[in-house]
Structure 1
Amino acid sequence: MTPLAQIIAGRIRATGPISLADYMQICLLHPQHGYYSTRDPFGRAGDFTTAPEISQIFGEICGLALAQAWMDQGSPAPFTLAEIGPGRGTLMADMLRVIARVPGMADAAQLVLIEASPHLRQVQRDRLGDVTHLDHAADLPQQPLFLIANEFFDALPVRQYQRGDQGWAERMVGLGPDGLQFGLGPTVDLPRPGKIGDVVEDCPAAPAIIAAIAGRIARHGGAAIVIDYGGWNGYGDTFQALRNHRAEDPLAHPGQADLTAHVDFAPLAAAAIRSGAMSSRMGMQGPWLLALGAAQRAQKLLQAGDRGAPAALRRLTDGQEMGQLFKTLAIWPEGAPPVPGFDPLRLHADDA
């Protein structure tokens, strides 16, 4: 057992099985042994590679989209430029390079990063300089907000429910003869249809985070772009672990593997609309990047000597790579133009 597995086992012996959400929270953010608390998980030397680490194209397109939204809304100043879950700071660095070319935008921006990991906070300071760090989206300033969230929501803890003969029961993490194992708790009242064996996931924290972001955008202006892998009102067990760029049993090495689940974008859109903002339809990363000029940017990088640009573009946009797996969602104020590349979701607040 890993040191964290022993801690989790001790808790289960003392108080009984724990929810999958509690298991994820402990594994990712335990102060001494948590995955994000102890390491830099990104890139070839880590456990996974995110889009900003593949090519500067990704961050530049995100920066251009937020810059256009800023200009479309009258270039408000000052404003908060924020990233939630900023990793190494690579995405924000690429966005800032684009924003610096937009007259007046860099001077008006107040950079804020929302990051829970002390280790990653230091990595971000080393990359970006003296930045403001916050713990929660609810702490964001009450002013125009332009925000990016790339591969953040997939790491939030989820609860899982499985349909049985007697109804839905929550999947729990308990102890068996060989260590940690999954089991089912008592039945619960879950207002979702399903057949025997179906699994559904719920991310309790995600709608509240979106509500905090969308509330500021509705009141003060701004825009948010969310990019992650997932779907819309999905069913199925998507809980997974990555270690050394390979999938493994999520219970095998607590604290030493990245734990994620696919994002359900439907509750995010609904939370944004209930908060008074506009939400886009869910889109796909590949078509969105291409619509905003990713292919042209890759060609210019190739001409400048970046021989990896075509392969990076393919990885970001191809349907067999990240292009269809990763989905996109945008939020903006009512009455403002949509964020570039997004179409409004026609859903009334009373229906959200």
Structure 2
Amino acid sequence: MIPTSPLEADIRKLIRSTGPMPVWRYMQLCLTHHEHGYYIARDPLGREGDFVTAPEVSQMFGELLGLWAASVWKAIGAPDTIRLIELGPGRGTLMMDALRAIRIVPPFHAACHVHMVEINAALREKQVAALAGTRNVHWHDGIDDVPEGPSIIFANEYVDVLPIHQMVRRETGWHERVIEIDAADRLAFGASAEPMSRFDLLLPPLVRAAPVGAVFEWRPNTEIMKITSRVRAFGGAALIIDYGHLRSDAGDTFQAIAKHSFTDPLKNAGLSDVTAHVDFQAMAHAVEDIGGRVHGPIEQGAFLRRLGIETRAVTLMSKATPQVSEDIASGLKRLTDSGRGGMGSLFKVLGVSHPSMAELAGLTDQPAAPGPSVAIDTEADDTPHQESEEDSE
């Protein structure tokens, strides 16, 4: 069979020379191969790309996160310098909107040193353009490269692209799921010949009774540990926002998206966005295991409402044309709704902080009652800045 992409040709060579490839390795190559990786050189966002993220849906998303960051800064004693870090910052839209909003808190705005963690050269160029004129902005290949110091971290749709391990249950135990070449010369799922010894002892309770054929996914906690270690060591907090499930359970969520539609993840390697849902329960346990404090997780819709997104929408619409008002209302619905096409319940929000922080705005059991440093000032920069998009991942 003729490979459908340059990367598939390389993957086939690897499989033929070294044997079936674990799902995590296949996912890693699809996304970050040095030459053909999906996230290395292309801009996948927007109507002309493959998917749309929340910051591209409405300016309100980034604005609210910016004011959330201001509340964290105030809670940790308003340090003179704060590392405002974004992991996988797309086109820079979230950070641009966040920085515009936090100008209403001048001491916080002055304290911010912005750090963008991005490996994609094409997206870096767009981030530079989006943040043109912003002082103290730096780019890095990894969070380890960001200087030490109190930190506030945004990770929006970042964890879902971190490679997953998949295990499949057989009569003989749990075997690692692999990618192989089948009898028809196609890439196909298979399983390692030998089961993983004592793997069942590591399984969460809901998975222990899973039937033969069940798939269980897990991610190494490396990136979550780096995030937690930073806020634990230097103070601050992180917001992790992604689509996923609240309880650890069996299920195959490995998927690919191209041109706003689901596609076969084993076809067109490197040409589609390959992801898997985030296990928020496992992530929360990892944070607690190394001494971080967990806040949430809760659904994105509830989080944004607690931060005042509905009030912000009314303020923006009061100064907008009828067409732009319609776009703002559409963006609000898209970000908070639980129905078809809505992101409100599919996406979850997890807060991570230094152990001393008892609360994080928007993640407490009751809606926050923020002071001026947290709430959007309806008199400050209340001009709509972008229109909503129609499609998301």
User: Which amino acid in 2 is paired with 1:318?
Assistant: D
Q: Distance in 2 between matches of 1:75 and 1:36?
A: 36
**2:354 counterpart residue number:** 333
Considering only CA atoms, is the larger Rg found in Structure 1 or Structure 2?
2
**1:108 counterpart residue number:** 111
Moved over 6 A (4+): none
- More displaced stretch, 116-125 vs 259-268: 116-125
**Per-residue Cα deviation, 1:289-325 (whole angstroms, up to 9, x for no partner):** 0111101111112112132111110010011111000
Q: Secondary structure at the match of 1:41?
A: coil
Question: What pairs up with 1:200-219 in 2 under 5 angstroms?
Answer: 200-204=216-220, 207-219=221-233
Q: Distance in 2 between matches of 1:10 and 1:123?
A: 35
1:240 aligns with 2:255: yes
**Per-residue Cα deviation, 1:261-303 (whole angstroms, up to 9, x for no partner):** 0001123222222332211121000011011110111111211
Q: Distance in 2 between matches of 1:276 and 1:119?
A: 37
Question: What pairs up with 1:182-197 in 2 under 5 angstroms?
Answer: 182-185=189-192, 186-189=194-197, 190=199, 191=201, 192=203, 193=208, 194-197=210-213
Q: How far apart are residue 223 of structure 1 and its match?
A: 1.0
In structure 2, list runs of 5 or more residues that go unmatched.
366-393
**1:350 counterpart residue number:** none
User: Which amino acid in 2 is paired with 1:83?
Assistant: E
**1:37 counterpart residue number:** 40
1:67 aligns with 2:77: no
The counterpart of 2:60, out of the listed 51, 57, 60, is: 57
Q: Distance in 2 between matches of 1:72 and 1:38?
A: 39
User: Which amino acid in 1 is paired with 2:337?
Assistant: D
**2:329 counterpart residue number:** 310
The counterpart of 1:229, out of the listed 231, 240, 243, is: 243
**Per-residue Cα deviation, 1:43-101 (whole angstroms, up to 9, x for no partner):** 10000010000000111111111111111221112110000011111111111111222
**Per-residue Cα deviation, 1:175-196 (whole angstroms, up to 9, x for no partner):** 1224211111121132321221
The counterpart of 1:181, out of the listed 188, 195, 203, is: 188
Percent identity reads: 41
After TM superposition, the score normalised by the length of structure 1 is 0.94
Q: Distance in 2 between matches of 1:92 and 1:255?
A: 27
Q: Distance in 1 between matches of 2:18 and 2:317?
A: 58
**Per-residue Cα deviation, 1:136-191 (whole angstroms, up to 9, x for no partner):** 22333221000110000000110100111111111101112242111111211323
Contact in 2 for aligned 1:72/1:337 (Cα 8 Å): no
Q: How far apart are residue 134 of structure 1 and its match?
A: 1.8
1:253 aligns with 2:274: no
Q: How far apart are residue 337 of structure 1 and its match?
A: 4.0
Q: How far apart are residue 36 of structure 1 and its match?
A: 1.2
User: Which amino acid in 1 is paired with 2:266?
Assistant: L
Q: Distance in 2 between matches of 1:220 and 1:267?
A: 24
In structure 1, list runs of 5 or more residues that go unmatched.
345-352
Contact in 1 for aligned 2:42/2:120 (Cα 8 Å): no
**1:343 counterpart residue number:** 364
Contact in 1 for aligned 2:82/2:150 (Cα 8 Å): yes
Q: CA RMSD in A?
A: 1.4
Q: How far apart are residue 233 of structure 1 and its match?
A: 1.1
User: Which amino acid in 2 is paired with 1:235?
Assistant: A
Q: Distance in 1 between matches of 2:332 and 2:28?
A: 34
**Per-residue Cα deviation, 1:238-276 (whole angstroms, up to 9, x for no partner):** 000001101011011101100000001123222222332
Q: Secondary structure at the match of 1:270?
A: helix
